[in-house]
Amino acid sequence: MAVIGCASYGFVYIQYTLEEEKLFMEQYCTEEEISAHIHCTAAKEIFGLIWTLTLSCSIIGDLLIKLFQDYFGFFAGRFVCGSLLTVGFATMGMYKTNPYLLFVGQILISLPAYRNLSQNISLGQIYMGENSSIATILFPGIWMFSLITFLVGKKFTDMEVMSLSSFLFLLAAFSLIVHVRSFFLLPKDLIPSPVPINYNLFQASIVGQCVIGKKYAASTQPEIKDKQIEDNNVSVREFFRMLASWRFLFMLFFNAIIWSRCATAMGHVNAWLDYAYYEDSLLCENDPGKACVVDDYKSEIIDVYGYLNCLHIVVPFMLVALLEGFKKCFSKDKAILLSYLTQMFISILHVFAITTIMMMKIPEGGGKGLPLLLVTLLQTVQPIFMTCPQIFVYTFYPRHLAPKVFIVINLFYLPITFIYPALYNFLLQGSVQDYRFSEVSYIFFGLCSLLLIIFPYFAYDAKKYCDEKERENIYKPFSE
């Protein structure tokens, strides 16, 4: 599942191929533009809508599949995720018969994206035991590594190994492995919390329970204190009272701004390359006999952007090393907090750098240096930022409330995603040289500046909170 679970977020790679194929040109361009073989702005705006659906459906799907999983069991939730991937990839594979099938397929493979991550974190914490905090840092990076899936499809198309349609059908067939594994190595019911000692995934699976001939129950339960049992019974009013803090509001604001900048930058990369290389593209149009390297530049940069998904594996290990370094100097809880604050600060600086670059054009003959720096920053910040919500929730809230807090965070972020199509359409107004990257960048500059101003107080308040919890010893983050 880690190979294809987040494939939908790699849409930017096949978008390059789809724009080369002039997809949606016949549906949205004028007869004059079609006869001139011009891929009009109206057709390109559809890709912005598809990207928005990818982001919003992954949030909606996480909520719906979680409710289904809580009622029918862990296996049922995983089976739904795998089925959506299989049907979604197959539907996308038929996009040449009807371009709108790309919408349907992308929605289907987006729905299980976040739920795949949550399921893998739950399983990882079983395997890693006392090192569950490391699983929370590593798994988002491994999950985002699956963005490279669609890059493979682009490369196969470029090298004429197979068409994009054939590759999508191949992914649909490959996703069947998820179902086979679900029967053998995933629990039929929900994973108990806390996890029993000697919990066996095979015996808890459907096949395992058929083999042992009875419902699986782990033999030894860890000691559960009465206080913890009482804490599990939290009313809805008490739960929202726990969220009613400016600390939580700052985290929502931070999450919304950083992720919005990263998400829009990911969706705007192809348009920015057209904008940045406009001067060189103009020279090619004025001198058709001259060898033009701009198109090769764009394709190579998109490829490098995909190759840098490897950073989603490397960077989490660096974050773990940072955490272990803090643990040598501070208590476990304080080390986790310092690691979290460091990641937040680095994310803010990355977003400032990304926003600055996307305001700039590349001078004539400027090469590939600036775009390569942009895609490197984009791929570096994602694994750093993606672990921040997980660390925040498990640091400031009891573990058994974490799934509910995640739902609130995602529901807050959901309406923001519907702003993206309007932002993308605003960006593409006018000709290529007039794309409004500067105006969009000014907006994010202002929001990130506000984040940077508030951040020191948030850091002070978080440290104060951690000190109080250590003294009271009510519960310890990641230590339950």
Fold that domain 236-480 belongs to in CATH: Growth Hormone; Chain: A; (1.20.1250)
**pLDDT tens sequence across 158-190:** 888 899 999 999 999 988 887 777 777 777 777
Query: Up-side HSE of residue 113: CA atoms within 13 Å toward CB?
Result: 25
3-state secondary structure of 288: coil
Alpha-carbon dihedral sign for residues 245, 251, 123, 58: positive
Does residue 277 carry a pLDDT above 90?
no
Neighbour count for residue 329 (Cβ, 10 Å): 9
8 A C-beta contact, residue 8 and residue 54: yes
DSSP structure class, residue 285: H
Q: What is the mean pLDDT of residues 146-163?
A: 87
Q: What is the mean pLDDT of residues 210-223?
A: 56
Buried b (16+ CB within 10 A) or exposed e, 249-267: ebbbbbbebbbbbbbbbbb
Q: What is the mean pLDDT of residues 318-334?
A: 85
The CATH code of the domain at 1-218 is 1.20.1250
8 A C-beta contact, residue 185 and residue 205: yes
Least confidently predicted of 18-27, 128-137, 252-261, 428-437: 128-137
pLDDT of the residue at 251: 87
pTM, 2 dp = 0.75
Q: Which residue carries 């190595």 as its tokens?
A: 185
**pLDDT tens sequence across 412-455:** 888 888 888 888 888 888 788 888 898 999 999 999 999 999 99
Alpha-carbon dihedral sign for residues 421, 423, 426, 432: negative
Q: What is the mean pLDDT of residues 307-322?
A: 82
Q: What is the mean pLDDT of residues 461-467?
A: 82
**Residue 267's closest CA among 77, 391, 392, 440?**
440
Least confidently predicted of 19-23, 172-176, 329-333, 443-447: 329-333
Pinpoint the residues of the chain covered by CATH 1.20.1250: 1-218, 236-480
**pLDDT tens sequence across 361-389:** 888 777 888 999 999 998 888 888 877 88
**pLDDT tens sequence across 190-199:** 766 666 666 6
